[in-house]
């Protein structure tokens, strides 16, 4: 008795072959010359007339034959797909994590969905924002955000100063150069806040998603190992359609 994973492996090839043969049958039926035949003979008016050989063209394609071939091809596809879909209704497995059943008796179709979602979630959590490692962060209960310790910095103001380069004389005024000096006028106290996550938290989330995805993959393989019962629906379908 075949297993579901074997039917899934076969289905793709059967689909491809059916599509090719159906396309070929369709193209043949659209060529009138293949379906047409003729037979004609020539008889001169009198015995002295020119004698011409008979001409004939045989019918190269029979529509009924093409219908039978098409039915045979598609019957295989219908049966394989039915076998897979019927089996999918009963193929189930548990998702087990570290010896504990997280999800019980899960249909294989849902396991496929879950695996796809976990792959997307893996990408999502890997790109979560991480706190700047160059800062020391602590959780602030009042804002529910991470914050740094206060850092005090000086605020300065530029004050102009005069520098006498040359004293005044009877003939020349004093030569004075203006420059600016930074004078402390106050202090800034800065606390940084962030809604990002600690690196350990992001790594923990990534690890959880990876573990669950692996457990789902294992469950899917187990479900796909379910033995299947061959379904025979194509003959009934095409017996009605082309019979």
93-107 tens-digit pLDDT: 999 999 999 999 999
Both 236 and 186 in one domain: the answer is: no
144: pLDDT confidence band, cut at 50, 70 and 90?
very high
Same domain, 101 and 81: no
Determine the angle formed by the axes of helices 234-241 and 63-90, rounding to 10 degrees.
150
Percent of the chain beyond pLDDT 70?
Answer: 100
Instruction: Over range 94-123, report the average pLDDT.
Output: 95
Task: Specify the pairing of strand 175-190 against strand 151-166.
Answer: antiparallel
CB-CB neighbours of 106 under 10 Å: 20
For the residues of 142-158, what is the DSSP string, one character each? TTTEEEEPPEEEEEEEE
For residue 31, being part of any structural domain is answered with: yes
157 and 216 both lie in a single domain: no
pTM over 0.75: no
User: 118 and 86, same structural domain?
Assistant: no
**Is residue 28 in a domain?**
yes
- Residue 163 bridge partners (DSSP): 177
Distance CA(243)–CA(239), nearest Å, equals 5
Residues 127 and 166 occupy one common structural domain:
no
In-domain check, residue 127: yes
Q: Which domain holds residue 168?
A: 150-190
User: Are residue 79 and residue 159 in the same domain, yes or no?
Assistant: no
What are the Cα distances from residue 143, in Å, to 73, 129, 150, 195, 221?
A: 68, 18, 16, 10, 46
Residue 50, in any domain of the structure: no
Check whether residue 102 and residue 215 sit in a common domain.
yes
The total domain count for the chain is 3
Question: Which pLDDT score, from 0 to 100, does residue 188 have?
Answer: 94
């Amino acid at each position: 008795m075949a297993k579901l994973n074997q039917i899934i492996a076969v289905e793709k090839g059967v689909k491809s072959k059916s599509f090719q043969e159906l396309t070929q049958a369709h193209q043949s039926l659209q060529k009138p010359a293949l379906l047409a035949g003729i037979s004609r003979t020539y008889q001169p008016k009198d015995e002295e007339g020119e004698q011409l050989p008979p001409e004939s063209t045989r019918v190269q394609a029979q529509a009924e034959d093409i219908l039978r071939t098409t039915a045979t091809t598609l019957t295989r596809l219908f049966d394989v797909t039915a076998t897979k879909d019927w089996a999918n209704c009963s193929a189930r497995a548990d998702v087990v994590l570290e010896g504990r059943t997280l999800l019980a008796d899960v249909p294989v179709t849902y396991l496929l969905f879950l695996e796809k979602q976990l792959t997307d979630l893996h990408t999502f959590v890997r790109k979560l924002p991480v706190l700047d490692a160059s800062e020391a962060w602590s959780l602030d209960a009042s804002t529910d955000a991470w914050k740094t310790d206060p850092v005090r910095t000086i605020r300065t103001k530029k004050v102009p100063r005069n520098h006498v380069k040359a004293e005044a004389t009877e003939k020349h005024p004093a030569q004075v150069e203006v420059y600016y000096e930074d004078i402390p006028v106050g202090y800034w106290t800065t606390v940084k806040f962030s809604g990002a996550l600690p690196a350990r938290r992001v790594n923990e989330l990534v690890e959880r998603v990876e573990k669950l995805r692996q457990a789902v993959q294992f469950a899917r393989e187990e479900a796909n190992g379910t033995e299947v019962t061959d379904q025979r629906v194509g003959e009934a379908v095409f017996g009605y359609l082309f019979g």
